Structure 1
Amino acid sequence: MKLRHLALLPFLLAGCAGTDVQHYKNVTPALDLAEYFTGTTDAWGMFQRRNGEVVKRFHVEITGTREQNKLTLDERFRYDDGTTQQRVWHLARNGDGLWRGTAADVKGEAQGEVAGNALRWQYTLLLPVDGTTYEMQFDDWIFLIDRCTMMNRASMRKFGFELGQVTLTFRRRACVP
């Protein structure tokens, strides 16, 4: 009896693996990351603990510039408690739908893949909290809704356990849907 249950384990674990970004390859409108973020984009977001409690809200002004296969995103955060933060991403197209990126508060290199209207973006953020820096794994799923609007849901994990989620809505300035 126990042996049969063990035989089912690979199928159960595969069910927990989640959706592959290629699932969205035929969904429109197609996301062109460099095109979407060139210029100024605003984003509004919140961080929720795993119990659903909203603990931080914020606005981000993003200035995007591109040069050939490279994209720079200068993100300026303003949090609901009045604090501010800046993160500058340096992104490079790394093949068909593949992106990689770096930022000062990201450990190593972020990896992303675009398919259809979706981007899956994964990285380790160095998050300072009360004088200690924690390495938090982020798994972002970003979806283009229309040519002006994107939505993002990110899972934040430590040691494989979800600590919370970040939700953002992006809107390109001077854009008419």
Structure 2
Amino acid sequence: MSSLLFVGLGILLSLGLFIVWQRNWTFVAQTPEDYAGSGPVFDVRKHLNGPLLCEGLIYGPTGRVSSRFVADMNVEWDGDTGLMTEEFRYDSGATQSRRWTLKVWPDGRVEAEAPDVIGTGTGRQTGAGLQLTYRIRLPEDSGGHVLDATDWMYLVENGAIINRSQFRKYGIKVAELVATMRKKP
């Protein structure tokens, strides 16, 4: 009986250490304040504005590239409210369109809505970084799953934006996206 108790305690200790590690030292543990005062200042209205070219990779749960894409984006602002349209072309030949409505608040908070986003995405821009979290429903041909998404966009000195996103189901990472966004020439 005592060996069963030790196994149970070992499992609980391992789970506790995993949760502490996850919340303190991983991608999802970043905060916008981590980027305050670092690098160029990311202003969504300035840097996500006009026609943009986006190129990226999607990694599956094993860490291998599962898809490549190119997207044409266009963002138009009316004050603090922006409309971003995205036209994706995947290496499989599939296409996808998305239309985001973005709202930037004076304190740096950002809200985002899209038809496949459940509710309103929320985030914050601080320093060179922009964080956005939301729940997204995948298309039916991709299973129709609802995933928790965490997007981080980092502004680099030449004005390009590097986007890293992780998608989780039940807290387990099932996909990751890495992309660059830059003004179209």
Paired residue for 1:78, among 79, 83, 89?
Answer: 89
| 1:142–1:150 contact (8 Å) kept in structure 2 | yes
Find runs of 4+ consecutive structure 1 residues off by over 3 angstroms.
129-132
Q: In structure 1, what is the equivalent of residue 181 of structure 2?
A: 170
Compared with structure 1, are the counterparts of its residues 15 and 148 closer, same or farther at alpha carbon in structure 2 (3 Å cutoff)? closer
TM-superposed CA distance for 1:131, in Å, is 7.3
Q: Which amino acid aligns with 1:24?
A: Y
TM-superposed CA distance for 1:46, in Å, is 0.9
Distance in 2, Cα, partners of 1:131 & 1:38: 30
| 1:29–1:147 contact (8 Å) kept in structure 2 | no
* Larger helix share, 1 or 2: 2
| Count of paired positions | 168
Trace 1:98-109 onto structure 2 (pairs within 5 A): 98-109=109-120
Paired residue for 2:102, among 91, 95, 115?
Answer: 91
Structure 2 unaligned spans of 5+: 1-8
Paired residue for 1:139, among 141, 150, 156?
Answer: 150
Trace 1:1-177 onto structure 2 (pairs within 5 A): 13=20, 15-16=24-25, 18-130=29-141, 132-174=143-185
Compared with structure 1, are the counterparts of its residues 81 and 132 closer, same or farther at alpha carbon in structure 2 (3 Å cutoff)? closer
Distance in 2, Cα, partners of 1:31 & 1:132: 35
CA displacement 1:66-110 (0-9 Å, x = unmatched): 001101100110001111110000011133110101001110000
Structure 1 unaligned spans of 5+: none
Q: Which amino acid aligns with 2:78?
A: E
Moved more, 98-107 or 43-52: 43-52
- Computing the radius of gyration over CA atoms, which structure comes out larger, 1 or 2? 2
Question: CA RMSD of the aligned region, Å?
Answer: 2.1
Distance in 2, Cα, partners of 1:131 & 1:59: 18
Residue 35 of structure 1 aligns to a residue in which SS?
A: helix
Residue 42 of structure 2 aligns to a residue in which SS?
A: coil
CA displacement 1:131-169 (0-9 Å, x = unmatched): 741101110111001243010111110011101211101
TM-superposed CA distance for 1:40, in Å, is 0.5
Distance in 1, Cα, partners of 2:60 & 2:144: 18
